Amino acid sequence: MSLADWMKLYVEQKNLSNLEGITTTEIDGVHFYRSSQGNQRQPFVYQSGLIVLGQGTKNIYLGNQPVHYGPDDYLVVGVPMPLECEAITDNGEPLLGLSIDIDAQVLHRLVNKLETRGSYKPCKDSGAKSGLKSVAMDNEMLDVCQRLMKALCNPIEASILGDSLMEEVTFRALMSKEGHVLFDLARHEGHYARVAKALDYLHRNYTSTVTVQDLAQTANMSVSAFHQAFRSVTLASPIQYIKKVRLNKARELIQLEGVKVGDAARLVGYNSTSQFSREFKRHFNLTPTENSVG
């Protein structure tokens, strides 16, 4: 069976034919995605991890750099990335995919083993590596993703084999041509890992006033060096990045949790509802009220 066939079987087994979006699965850290219509280009925040499509295609717009991926590709997302995404169905068939978290302890253990054996020669830290990369799926990655879906279709396999399959997926991604994204993250050194540390701080404190100086101090870098490194990883300035994160979180609160516009604005750090509404409209091309009923 193909990866798409396993995903279709999972939809059938779990009665997910009406799912529009993402849901948890029987394996911790693995989320299943389905969309019957796809969507036009619109803002999203991709969380760190791996994203695998079994059916359908997506175009990711990160700054001025378009990234295309489909069933023959997967995404390696090293840090949370505000971006724009266009999802396209194929011959009326729904998009089907997986979002796979990278467990930090597993990643560190694998990197330590590879370094000890001298089995990995990472790219030098150029200070100019984006936090999102598209990778062509080789036979080994396709095989483990198929076995992961097979396990999700069998509760016993999911329970017994889930952890080992997650470790193998991480290993395959680490050994890919874009594995340096994860390798640098695990090493806790170089510009990429320092920016990742600052982003972690930012995502935990985005409702508060966070300055570039705060982030640079967290990254243990000068303000000028941090600003340059931050833009090279996220393709956005720190101020642009945090605004996108706040607005995307507000959209989730309004659309998914039914939070009122003024309350959502306050919860994501805006003191002015009118300013929030203006920036929301500019970012999503619709008002917060239109978003709540969309």
Give CA torsion, residues 267, 270, 275, 281, to 10 deg.
-40
Q: What is the structure's pLDDT at 126?
A: 41
Mean pLDDT, residues 237-252: 89
pLDDT at 286 over 50: yes
Q: Which two tokens stand for residue 64?
A: 């001025």
pLDDT at 127 over 60: no
Q: What pTM does this model have?
A: 0.77
Mean pLDDT, residues 214-240: 89
**Beta-bridge mates of residue 228:** none
Superfamily in which the 240-292 domain is placed by CATH: Homeodomain-like (1.10.10.60)
Q: What is the structure's pLDDT at 130?
A: 62
pLDDT at 292 over 80: no
Tell me which residue of 14, 57, 47 sits closest to 32, measured CA to CA.
14
Alpha-carbon distances, residue 141 vs 138, 147, 196 (angstroms) = 6, 10, 25
Higher pLDDT, 168 or 182: 168
Q: What is the structure's pLDDT at 215?
A: 93
How far apart CA 115 and CA 27 sit, in angstroms, is 28
Please measure the distance between the N-terminal and C-terminal CA atoms of the chain and give it in whole angstroms.
Answer: 37
- Single-letter amino acid, residue 69: Y
Structure confidence by residue, pLDDT tens digits, 2-24? 999 999 999 999 999 999 989 99
Q: What is the structure's pLDDT at 128?
A: 41
Structure confidence by residue, pLDDT tens digits, 141-160? 999 999 999 999 999 999 99
Q: What is the structure's pLDDT at 294?
A: 45
pLDDT at 134 over 90: no
Structure confidence by residue, pLDDT tens digits, 89-126? 988 899 999 999 998 889 888 988 888 887 665 554 44
How far apart CA 121 and CA 242 sit, in angstroms, is 34
- C-alpha angle 282/82/16, rounded to 5°? 100
- Single-letter amino acid, residue 272: S
Boundaries of every domain in the chain: 3-184, 188-236, 240-292
Query: Helix 155-174 and helix 139-152: axis angle, to 10°?
Result: 160
Structure confidence by residue, pLDDT tens digits, 38-73? 888 888 888 888 999 999 999 988 766 678 889 988
Going through 118-187 in order, the beta strands assigned E by DSSP cover 132-136
Q: What is the structure's pLDDT at 188?
A: 60
Q: Which CATH number fits domain 3-184: 2.60.120, 2.60.40, 3.30.70, 1.10.890?
A: 2.60.120
pLDDT at 290 over 50: yes
Query: Helix 273-284 and helix 238-257: axis angle, to 10°?
Result: 90
Same fold, 3-184 and 240-292: no
Q: What is the structure's pLDDT at 236?
A: 85
Q: What is the structure's pLDDT at 143?
A: 97
How far apart CA 15 and CA 5 sit, in angstroms, is 15
Higher pLDDT, 287 or 124: 287
Contacts 24+ apart (CB under 8 A), 249-254: 249/45, 249/206, 250/276, 250/280, 250/288, 251/280, 251/284, 251/288, 251/291, 254/288, 254/291, 254/292
